[in-house]
A = this chain, B = another copy of it.
Amino acid sequence: MISKLIDSIRKKEAPIAVGLDPMLSYVPSWITEKAIAEHGETFEAAGSAILEFNKAIIDSVCDLVPAVKPQIAMYEQFGIPGLKAFTETVSYCREKGLFVIGDVKRGDIGSTSEAYASAHIGKVKIGNTALPVFDEDFCTVNPYLGSDGIKPFIEACNECDKGIFVLVKTSNPSSGEFQDRVLHDEDSTLYESVGFKVNEWASLSMDGRYSNIGAVVGATYPKMGEILRRIMPKSYILVPGYGAQGGTGKDLAPFFDRDGLGAIVNSSRGIIAAYKKEKYAKFGDKAFADASRAAVLDMKEDIRVNVFK
């Protein structure tokens, strides 16, 4: 799977994923009001509003970027109708030729991780019929439970030609509380230790130069990104935290390999809620999707200037 994503990154010259994290506060009020007029103040209204919002943005940016990263929490918060909007978003993106990275951060004991892996990147058997479920191309996975919790995802990658990104160093301010702790026996940090494990797991699902087993490392920690880039030479790095969370174009270079590959940068708020920023205010809330397109073009340029100069 990773080689297909890389082909698309090359073709579109954009190592970018658009984070489809439609908080209701990002959705223009005219969309929400229309949905509430039709469905009342219900989860159906929320699901309908975020789906309409997503589709407009997808239409507007799908020729520019290779991938999207829907954050499932933003759909799960609207219950069943929200999760229906998630599945419809996933299939709409795939129709448009976009790769879908489900940001689900699942992870559990072996038998349970197997169920999650089937749900997100594998298939589930009912009687004699094997069916895909949420059917993302990639998903994110939490490593706290160790190999037991990761192996079922690796198996699903190999069986169904999919990929995962394992959380290594997350973008949030408190990520250091545990991840940065120095370990006694090897004088490395927990995030480095997780990185070493990712590098082991990566060899179990190689697909060309890179592995289907990637890692998540926040743009907000570029020095750690540099270290982790060396520790995990086979793994693509999914880099959240660019834009609204504080990561800048200058911070991104360490995440990439010398060949210009090895990383895909996510921006969520900065793109999908661009129309709310002063810089793109001229678009207004009717043309919010055009503002998103402008923000993607600016992000491409920011990466070109700062990473590929």
Contacts and interface: CB of A to CB of B under 8 A. Distances in A.
B126 A45 contact: yes
A177 B43 CA distance: 41
Interface in A202-217: none
A60 to B, nearest CB: 24
A139 to B, nearest CB: 12
B149 A74 contact: no
Identical copies of this chain, number: 2
Contacts of A245: 109
Interface stretch (A157-165, A182-190, A223-231, A291-299): A182-190
A145 to B, nearest CB: 5
Contact of A109 (B83, B171, B181): B171
Contact of A178 (B24, B105, B129, B143): B143
Residue with the greatest number of chain B CB neighbours at <10 A, chosen from A77, A149, A170: A77
A209 B146 CA distance: 33
A178 B146 contact: yes
A192 to B, nearest CB: 11
Interface in A128-178: 128-129, 131, 133-134, 142-149, 167, 170-178
Interface stretch (A9-17, A110-118, A247-255, A277-285): A110-118
20 contacts: A41-B127, A43-B126, A71-B115, A73-B112, A76-B115, A76-B116, A79-B133, A79-B134, A80-B84, A80-B87, A110-B172, A143-B178, A144-B179, A145-B174, A148-B173, A148-B174, A148-B175, A177-B197, A178-B190, A178-B194
